[in-house]
A and B are shown apart, each in its own frame.
Chain A
Amino acid sequence: MTDIPAKAAAPSASGGSALLTLMKLRTFIALIVVLVFFSIAAPNFLSAANLILMAKHVALNAFLAMGMTFVIVTGGIDLSVGSIVGLCGMVAGYLVLNGVDLQFGYTVYFNVVEIALITLLVGILIGAVNGLLITRLNVAPFIATLGTLYVARGLALLSSDGRTFPNLVGKPELGTTGFGYLGAGKLLGLPVSIWILVVVALGAAYLARNTPLGRHIFAVGGNERAARISGVRVNMVKMFVYMFSGFCAAIVGLIISSELMASHPATGESFELNAIAAAVLGGTSMSGGRGTIGGTIVGAFVIGILSDGLVMMGVSSFWQMVIKGLVIIVAVVIDQAQRRLQSRVTLMQMAKVS
């Protein structure tokens, strides 16, 4: 789960050890364990309706976690995603309700598709601000995105004075109806948000595997200096990952507002932590260079199923937090153990050869 695409295809030279293989598959094993456990422990867990509901929950975190994965692979972090979710929700809500006042008596209303595009653009722009701070002004990613976390949240609250934009049905005469489709619509029996997740995930996985940009993301995270000397445009790569993360957050903001048919400025608080957790659980290394989209999606499912399952079993939400934390810690401990084992196996082989 932790290697780059090129290696995943071929058997590892130092592999062969069953333990090592087991450790590499740990996220999948965890997923199977939680699935089996809850289908026994929680009634109705395996019903189609429940599975779809859970998938919708998971999708929200999975979007953010995908953006986060690319950021972490380059060796950075994006703390601002939760706030971007909130702000983008507010932007969408504002546009549906109020349109844009042009100051001389005219107000422009956009249709839903335009609103969605504008909202996505806002997310990308905030990502670009993060990227500029990090690449041009040399602010540490943690600090830069911590700053935009506050700024974006503040702007979201300012946009409505802290109130909720309610009832985003829109008016037919203004062409602003249909905003609910993203959150409630279905295509071939599956929610639209799931379809969007599938499309974005496939796109991101393709990007990671088969494009120069994807390769460069891994190279920058693995060794930034070497990447620079090899002609990789490191700053452009970093700009991209933060913009992509902002884009993913904007999608989540749209979907949540659409599901609720309302925009609340506090939406998305602490979402960034869940996203980081999913990425790490999926084998993304916080020190950069390692991670896969597939792993992150599985990680998001483990975390999502865990919390939904515990809710269904009636476990207190306080215990849920404890359990979630433990799962993350165990995952990282196993990850480290696997690295050590791997390098020891390699060293032993080298010593034998010489």
Chain B
Amino acid sequence: MSASPGHDVILKLEDISKVYAGTVAVKHANFEVRKGAVNVLVGENGAGKSTLMKIIAGVEQPTAGRVLLDGNEVSFSSSGDAVSRGIGMVFQELNLFGNLSVAENVFATRELTNVFRKIDHKGQESRAAEFLEQLEAGIRPDMLVEDLRIGQQQLVEIAKAVSLDARILIMDEPTSALSAAEVEILFRVIADLKARGVAIVYISHRLEELIRIGDYITVLRDGRITGQEEMRNVDTQWIVRQMIGSDAKDFAKADGHQPGAEVFRAEDICLPRVTGGLAVDHVSLSLRAGEILGIYGLMGAGRSELFDCIMGRHGQASGRIFIDGKQVKERDTTRRIQRGLALIPEDRQREGLVSILSVASNLTLASLSRFVSLFHIRGGAERQAVTQMVRELSIKVADPAQEVSSLSGGNQQKVVIGKALLTGPKVLLMDEPSRGIDVGAKADVFRTMRKLSRDGLGILFATSDLDEVMALSDRIAVMSNGKLTGMFERAEATEAAIVAASALGHGPAHGEQRR
């Protein structure tokens, strides 16, 4: 591709690969970052964007390949290393210290000190105030980060990165929790940085955003780079084609079966937030047997928290839930599982799997009582159930006695699903079931969801992927700011309406928690 004048390549990745236990995240990627331009990186969930950026920012080291900065080969052993070379990053998952003030966060690891190494708090706060001023966020630098709204926290993260005075600034989904007005401000800041010759790497899922501010675009699919162009030469169709490829996303067709009677109902679910307000705000919904109800929402919309409430993971949650019309009075997870609820959590590593146990032990962990006579686990019965589940979900594992951490992400996810299914649930809650797994495994997971709904299971699944929620759901619920802001029958749902509903309560007029 031909570059515009003045946009010199400042950083170059050559043939970079990165392998994690469980997945190959990036395969032989080549990527160029140009000065004074917004270099956009797109790809689906789990395509490897975040990994690639972490390599540039020195957070992760590549398994193979070279990184060239100004034409010289470099290797960053830590993020501090990268920062000292002028590379800053706004992380997707916020990397802030909640127990410290905004100013202390902005200057973490490079505190302003006087000659006696005493931290100059006044100076830090006034400098931080300047950066926050730019972002028009109304955040005082002496506030504790944990007391801020998630969107405001994201702005602090951005202020922190901007304050680095970096030559290369990486922004990983910086707008995912921002309101429309805040996004406008961010774009002004980006334009300003660009004018000063800063190279910006911008990652986002929102195509309209990318096309608006991008200068160069690179598309990642399954850890490989599938397209690299100047933004003015491309359109949405091109991007989508590169992202999805010829093997278009396989959502498994709906089979047209009719959902049955109501199997699950939640009434008035509320969960107070530690910082005040409600993380889940009077949510009521009902689910029929054999129905797939998709819950769409942005980061921090309260989807995961809603699932947690339903599973009885929060003692302070209020509201009522019903299964088959009978109220579930049990408040603990163990007995709610016995009543027919099962959760596939969003974070596989932290909440889904016991990674040092075997595939078999993980699969039967939630349903051991099925294989027990008196107190003895009947090995034969357990093995049989494991074998059957491995076959049913086509989990690729040589021997179920293998440690579960040796599997790929997709197969690990199938183990989590298998664990939930072995409890014989009536209602399955799936939180981002396709996150971080490859295309083939995704298709398997979607097919499994279809099959389960055909078998009469009620499925609630939460996602921030618009295509996914449109393609899989019989009905679509939208959450924003803890509230249920929309409920659409599949036939009447449009992308525009769903996106609009997901932004409700995020507008600047609704800053009820600002202080």
Highest count of chain A CB atoms <10 Å: which of B360, B377, B406: B406
Taking the nearest CB of chain A, how far is it from the CB of B240, in angstroms?
A: 26
A1-9, A26-34, A261-269, A310-318 - interface stretch:
A1-9
Nearest A residue (CB) for B401? A10
**With a CB–CB cut-off of 8 A, which chain B residues contact A210?**
376-377, 379
Q: Is A336 an interface residue (CB 8 A)?
A: no
Q: Is the CB of B354 within 8 A of A228?
A: no
Q: Is the CB of B333 within 8 A of A4?
A: no
User: For chain B residues 308-334, which have a beta carbon within 8 Å of chain A?
Assistant: 311, 313, 332-334
Q: Is the CB of B350 within 8 A of A225?
A: yes
**With a CB–CB cut-off of 8 A, which chain A residues contact B345?**
226, 229
Given contacts A6-B361, A228-B313, A289-B354, contact A347 B21 (CB under 8 A): yes
Nearest A residue (CB) for B27? A354
The residue that B333 contacts in the complex, of A211, A228, A290, with Cβ under 8 A, is A228
B116-124, B228-236, B365-373 - interface stretch:
B365-373
Q: Is the CB of B377 within 8 A of A215?
A: yes
Q: Is B261 an interface residue (CB 8 A)?
A: no
Q: Is B115 an interface residue (CB 8 A)?
A: no
Taking the nearest CB of chain B, how far is it from the CB of A172, in angstroms?
A: 41
Q: Is the CB of B401 within 8 A of A6?
A: yes
Nearest B residue (CB) for A233? B334
The residue that A350 contacts in the complex, of B19, B350, B419, with Cβ under 8 A, is B19
Instruction: Give bound CA distance, A184 to B403, whole Å.
Output: 46
B479-505 toward A: CB 8 Å interface, digit per residue (1/0)?
000000000000000000000000000
**With a CB–CB cut-off of 8 A, which chain B residues contact A213?**
375
**With a CB–CB cut-off of 8 A, which chain B residues contact A343?**
21
Size category, A interface: 35 or more
Q: Is B176 an interface residue (CB 8 A)?
A: no
A50-58, A102-110, A175-183, A216-224 - interface stretch:
A216-224
**With a CB–CB cut-off of 8 A, which chain B residues contact A222?**
354-357
Tally chain B residues at the interface, Cβ within 8 Å.
47
Taking the nearest CB of chain B, how far is it from the CB of A80, in angstroms?
A: 27
Q: Is A14 an interface residue (CB 8 A)?
A: yes
Given contacts A7-B358, A290-B356, contact A231 B366 (CB under 8 A): yes
Q: Is the CB of A6 within 8 A of B360?
A: yes
Q: Is B399 an interface residue (CB 8 A)?
A: yes
Q: Is the CB of B24 within 8 A of A215?
A: no
Q: Is B258 an interface residue (CB 8 A)?
A: no
Q: Is A230 an interface residue (CB 8 A)?
A: yes
Given contacts A222-B356, A226-B351, A228-B333, contact A212 B401 (CB under 8 A): no
Q: Is the CB of A215 within 8 A of B361?
A: yes
Q: Is A351 an interface residue (CB 8 A)?
A: yes
**With a CB–CB cut-off of 8 A, which chain A residues contact B376?**
210-211
**With a CB–CB cut-off of 8 A, which chain A residues contact B24?**
350-351, 354
Q: Is the CB of A10 within 8 A of B399?
A: yes
Q: Is A79 an interface residue (CB 8 A)?
A: no
Highest count of chain A CB atoms <10 Å: which of B351, B353, B356, B379: B356
Q: Is the CB of A7 within 8 A of B377?
A: no
Given contacts A228-B313, A229-B345, contact A223 B355 (CB under 8 A): yes
Taking the nearest CB of chain B, how far is it from the CB of A24, in angstroms?
A: 14
**With a CB–CB cut-off of 8 A, which chain B residues contact A230?**
337, 365-366, 419
Nearest B residue (CB) for A220? B354
Instruction: Give bound CA distance, A229 to B365, whole Å.
Output: 10
**With a CB–CB cut-off of 8 A, which chain A residues contact B63?**
351
Q: Is the CB of A231 within 8 A of B357?
A: no
Taking the nearest CB of chain A, how far is it from the CB of B352, in angstroms?
A: 6
Q: Is A346 an interface residue (CB 8 A)?
A: yes
Taking the nearest CB of chain A, how far is it from the CB of B202, in angstroms?
A: 28
Instruction: Give bound CA distance, A215 to B378, whole Å.
Output: 13
Q: Is B301 an interface residue (CB 8 A)?
A: no
Q: Is B398 an interface residue (CB 8 A)?
A: yes
Q: Is the CB of B354 within 8 A of A229?
A: no
Q: Is A227 an interface residue (CB 8 A)?
A: yes
Residue contacts A-B, CB under 8 angstroms, 9 given: A4-B361, A7-B402, A215-B361, A218-B354, A223-B353, A225-B351, A233-B334, A289-B356, A346-B405
Q: Which A residues fall within an 8 A CB radius of B?
A: 3-4, 6-7, 9-14, 210-213, 215-216, 218-219, 222-223, 225-233, 289-290, 343, 346-347, 350-351, 354
Nearest 4 interchain pairs by C-beta: A222-B354, A10-B401, A230-B366, A231-B337
